[in-house]
Amino acid sequence: MYSSAPPLPPACTPPQQLELPPSRPVSFHGKGRNTCVIIIVVVVPIIVLFLVFLAVFISVRAKKTRTTYERELPTEERDDITNAGSLQFDFKAIEVATNRFCETNKLGQGGFGEVYKGIFPSGVHVAVKRLSKTSGQGEREFANEVVVVAKLQHRNLVRLLGFCLKRDERILVYEFVPNKSLDYFIFDPTMQSQLDWTRRYKIIGGIARGILYLHQDSRLTIIHRDLKAGNILLDADMNPKIADFGMARIFGMDQTEANTRRVVGTYGYMSPEYAMYGQFSMKSDVYSFGVLVLEIISGKMNSNLYQMDNGPGNLVTYTWRLWSNGSLLELVDPSFHDNYRIKEVSRCIHIALLCLQEEADDRPTMSAIVQMLTTSSMALAVPQRPGFFFRNKYEQGGLVDLSINTSALCSVDDASSIITQVTPR
């Protein structure tokens, strides 16, 4: 019934060893080593060269990016734009401070962009100038303003706190000046009375000291090139602060004048030699200061045309005719009523006419102007005819009329250029 157990296997015999062909011992000292050496000698230098090239490329790109904001600046200023990096603000911090550039925080708008009020978490109030992406102020002007303003420290100049660069965003952060700009007061009939003669006289002196600092007392010689009522800010005590240095030019130690093909500035404030020939110097700013003084005294804009008894004219022409007729006090802002000092007003008008003389060499320096304003006993020269004088038919006498052809004016944003024509009559 049960099958028998399977037979036991025979006793295990040792397996036969297969005879393999004799093999050569592995050697690391033959061709294999030569191959490794070749790989190391060829590949490693390639990798090293690649890394060196990459490092040089990154360095060059970084340098190009940096010099984008330095080009055409003097050599000594190129170092300063690098040092100004310590003034750089984070874009997100500025967004938070201005509530994402909220319209309710907007302080004003000019030709180069908008200005917003900002408040940082520390409680510091600032004015944020956000340059328009389509504005006339390019990278050079932006770098120029950063370099120039970062160097300047004077009570009559607005103080730069920092800047921001992010992609196409270019932002300047200034100290907050609460009372807006001078033009807001002197050209508005409802606001003129807030600036009586005493305050306006102090403003004239403050502007003069600020320009003097730019021309002579700072370690740079700086020509502003766009002095106007809109670029004079007023602090809480109505002290003037010169702002907007985007068009400023830095001069060398021995340089006194320069030429440009790009005439920038605002119609009504530009000197004749600058508007017509592109020649600018410290005397160009002196001319602009003269216009400012007349506007501050009169509350009228020079760029407007005024119909007078003997023909049309601007504020400069009007003032010159009042001077010639001995009736200077007709220029005074009616909002003063009789609350002004006749000698102070008359002296300021006289100084303004000296600043407005047609020939740049005839105009006084800012140091002389400050001395004239502060030393009432100092004798004043007799002014010559101002530039851009509108002659009537009785004054021409067969000479060339340097009046402005108003049909030839063109405006670039808020900072206007002027095209003039010399018209023989």
188 within a domain of the structure (yes/no): yes
pLDDT for res 392: 53
Q: State whether 371 and 228 are in the same domain.
A: yes
Q: How far apart, in whole angstroms, are the C-alpha atoms of residue 312 and residue 416?
A: 22
Q: Is 222 within the bounds of a domain?
A: yes
Quick check: is 307 in a domain?
yes
Residue 219 CA to chain centroid, in angstroms? 18
Q: What's the confidence (pLDDT) of residue 53?
A: 82
Task: Write out the E strands in 286-414.
Answer: 306-308, 311-313, 400-401
Domain match, 327 and 217 both? yes
Contact of 405 with 420, CB cutoff 8 Å? yes
Within a domain: residue 54?
no
Asked, for residue 261, whether it belongs to a domain, the answer is: yes
Task: Give residue 63's pLDDT.
Answer: 52
Q: Which residues pair with 113 in a beta bridge?
A: 110, 131
- Co-location of 250 and 106 in the same domain: no
Q: To the nearest 10°, the Cα dihedral for 269, 366, 75, 85?
A: -80
Instruction: Please pick, among 196, 226, 235, 414, the residue that the annotation labels catalytic.
Output: 226
Contact 271, 360 (CB under 8 A): yes
- What is the end-to-end Cα distance of the chain in Å, rounded? 150
* DSSP-assigned letter for residue 424: E
Instruction: Please choose, from the candidates 188, 196, 208, 381, the residue with its C-alpha nearest in 3D space to the C-alpha of residue 293.
Output: 208
- Whether the CB-CB separation of 302 and 314 falls below 8 Å is answered with yes
Predicted confidence pLDDT, tens digits, the chain (425 residues): 445 555 555 554 555 555 555 555 555 455 566 777 777 777 778 888 888 888 877 766 655 544 443 333 344 444 454 455 568 899 999 999 999 999 999 988 766 788 999 999 999 999 999 987 766 556 667 776 687 778 788 999 999 888 898 888 889 899 999 999 999 999 999 999 999 999 999 999 999 999 999 999 987 788 998 999 999 999 999 999 999 887 777 654 444 554 455 555 687 899 999 888 888 899 999 999 999 999 999 999 998 776 655 555 799 999 999 999 999 999 999 999 999 999 999 999 999 999 999 999 999 999 999 999 999 999 999 999 998 766 554 444 433 333 333 333 333 333 333 323 333 32
Looking at residue 242, its pLDDT comes to: 96
What is the CATH number for 141? 3.30.200.20
Q: What are phi and psi of 311, to 5 degrees?
A: 120, 175
In-domain check, residue 49: no
157 and 301, same domain (yes or no): no
Do 154 and 189 fall within a single domain?
Answer: no
Residue 350 and residue 208 share a domain: yes
Q: In which domain, by residue range, is 351 found?
A: 182-424
Whole-angstrom Cα Rg for the chain: 37
Compute the distance between CA of residue 97 and CA of residue 90 in angstroms, rounded to an integer: 11
414 CB neighbour count, 10 Å cutoff: 14
Task: Provide the whole-model pTM.
Answer: 0.71
- What CA–CA distance (Å, rounded) separates 99 from 119? 9
Residue written as tokens 């200077």?
328
Residues 160 and 191 in one domain: no
Q: What is the pLDDT of residue 203?
A: 98
Q: Which of 113, 147, 175 is the last residue of a domain?
A: 175
Residue 69 within any structural domain of the chain: no
Q: Given this model, what pLDDT does residue 88 score?
A: 86
Give yes or no: 226 in active site: yes
Would you call 88 helix, strand, or coil by DSSP?
strand
Reported residue count of the chain is 425
pLDDT, position 275: 85
- Going by C-beta distance under 8 Å and a sequence separation of 6 or more, which residues neighbour residue 134? none
Q: Is residue 77 part of a domain?
A: no
Q: Are residues 116 and 247 in the same domain?
A: no
Confidence (pLDDT) at 9: 54
Whole-angstrom CA distances from 205 to 39, 101, 209, 339, 355 are: 79, 35, 6, 19, 14
Condensed to tens digits (0 to 9), the pLDDT of residues 285-317 reads: 999 999 999 999 999 999 877 665 555 579 999
Where a domain ends, among 141, 175, 209? 175
Q: What is the CATH number of the domain that holds 307?
A: 1.10.510.10
DSSP 8-state secondary structure symbol assigned to residue 213: I
For the chain, how many structural domains are there in total? 2
